[in-house]
Structure 1
Amino acid sequence: MFSGLSAFPITPMNETGVDEAAFGRLVRRLAAAGVDSIGALGSTGCYPYLTRAERARAAQLAVEYADGVPVMVGIGALRTRDVLALAEDAQKAGASAVLLAPVSYHSLQAEEVYGLYENVTRNLSIPLCVYDNPGTTRFNFSDELHGRIAQLPNIGSIKIPGVPADPAAAAERVARLRALIPASVTLGVSGDWFGAAGMNAGCEAWYSVIGGLFPRTTLAIARAAQAGHADAATQLSERLRPYWDLIARHGGSLRITATALDILGLVQHPCLPLPLNALGGADRAELAKLIETLELA
C-alpha cells in the first residue's frame, strides 16, 4: 500500500458540486496506467473546499473506479470531531488507507498535533499516512515528533515534503528519520521535483501530483528508482525541469494540473472551486507547448 507510485488526482468541481463523471475518468485513467495506489482528496484534490457529504461521495467514487488499486483518502479538517467523521466515511467507502495533515487556522503546538493523531489512530481499522505539509499547514514536524507519532497504532507511512538536492545529504536525511520510526512505517516523498531524489535516497513511496496527471511519465521515473537505476531516474526527472520551473513560478501544482487536464480534454472548465482559477493566456499556451514537447502522458 505505501510503496511505489501513489498518484494524487484533482477533484474536478464547480460551484454546483463535484463533476463525478470527470473524477471517475481520472481515477480510471490512473488505474489503467498501473499506478501502485491512488490518493483521493489530497491537497490537489481540494479537500478543504468540499462538504462532508461531497467528500464521502468522492471517496466512494474513487474506490469504485480504482478497479482494485488501493485508494488512500484524505481526512484533514480543522476539528478532531470532523476528522473522526471523515475517517469513518472513508472506511465505509472501502478505502485502504487514510491521509491526515494537521489542518489548522490557529497555529498548532506539537502536543496538540500528537493528540490529533493519537485520537484518530485509536478509532481506525485501516492504516494512516502522516501528511507533513508545512507549506500549507504552517506546522513543522520535528523528527522527534514523527518518531513519537510513528509508534501509534495504524500508522503506515509518513509523507515528507522533500529531501535535499545533494544525494548524500538526501540519503542522510532519510536515514536520520528512519532511525526513529518502526520498520513497518514507510517513508514517502512529495513535491514532485523531489520524487526521483527521494526514492533514490531510500524513500519507499512517491506521493505524486504529477502522477495523478501524467501517470506513465511518472511511473518511468519511479520504476527506474525502484530498480536501483538512480542515474536513469534522475535523468528522467531532470528532463522535466521546464515543468518543475513552471510549478515554481505559479506557487504550486494545483492551477497547472487543472489547466493541463482542461488542455487534454479530461475535465470541463472550470474545474476548480472559486476563488481559485486555472491558468490563462500565455501561461496556458506555455503549458500546452510543454505537454507536447516533453511528451507528457
Structure 2
Amino acid sequence: MFENKRIAVLGAGKLGEALIAGMLDAGIVTKKQFIATAAHKERIEAVKKKLGVETTLSNGEAVRKSHLVLLCVKPQTVEEVLRQIADDLTPHHVVISVAASVTTKFMENILTSPVPVIRTMPNTPCFIKKGMTAIAPGKHATADHVAQARKIFDAIGRTLILDEKHMDAVTGLSASGPAFVYIIIESFVEAGVKVGLPREAATQLAAQMMLGASSMVLETGEHPAKLKDTVTTPAGCTIDGILELEDGGLRVTLIKAVVRATHRARELVNG
C-alpha cells in the first residue's frame, strides 16, 4: 500500500512521533520513507536522533518530497500551514489531518487544487498503541485514500470510519474521554486508600480493573448493562455500590460531560 511512497509528517510532536514509531514498528514503511518537520531545530534534531528519519524545518520541502501528508499541527495553525504548502500540493497527494474541530471543507477551501483531504480524531492512548481514531473522508478522498489512513492509524490502536457530521461528538467522547476516565480511576484509587489499601496497590487494582472491564466490552460484544448484571448478585456488595452511584448522579454527570465537550468542539468549528 505504501510501497515507493514517501510520507511527510508536518509537526512531529508527540502524536507525529507516535505515528512514525507505530508505522515503523508495524513494518508497513521504512525510515527512508519519512520526512518530518517541526517549528524548532531542537525538536527536529530530537526526532532525527530518536527515530532515524529525514527531517527539515521546511514544510514545503517535506511536501514536495512526499506523496502523503500527515498534518499533525495544532488546530490554530492548520490554516497557516496549509497556506504555506498549498502551491506544493497536487491532486496526487493525500492530506490526513489530526486537528480537532477543523473540517475537511475548511481545509479544501484553502487548497488551490482538488487535493484529497481526510479528517481524523485520535486520542492520547495512541501514544502506547492503544488509541481510538475516527476517520472521516473529504469530498475528494477515495476508498483507497481512506484505506491508507486506516492502515496508518491501525498501527497505533483501533480505527472507525464515520461520516464527518459525527466528528465533534467523537471529540467530546473519545478524544476528551481519557481525561474523564483518569478522574474516575483517581477516584477509585482514593476510595481504595480510604478503605485501607496501600496507594500503589489501589492504583494497580483500579487501572487494571478499568482495562479489564473495557476489554470485556470490546472482546465479548456484550452490552455493558448485561456485563454489569453478571457482577451484580442479589443483596450483594456490588448492588449497594451501584445504588450510591445512581444516587450521586454519576451516569447523568458523565453524559453531561460528553455533551458539554461536544458542544465546545462545535463552538470551535463555528469560530
Shared fold (TM-score greater than 0.5)? no
TM-score w.r.t. the length of structure 1 is 0.38
TM-score w.r.t. the length of structure 2 is 0.41
Of structures 1 and 2, the one with the larger relative CO (CA 8 A, separation 6+) is: 1
Q: Which has the higher helix share?
A: 2
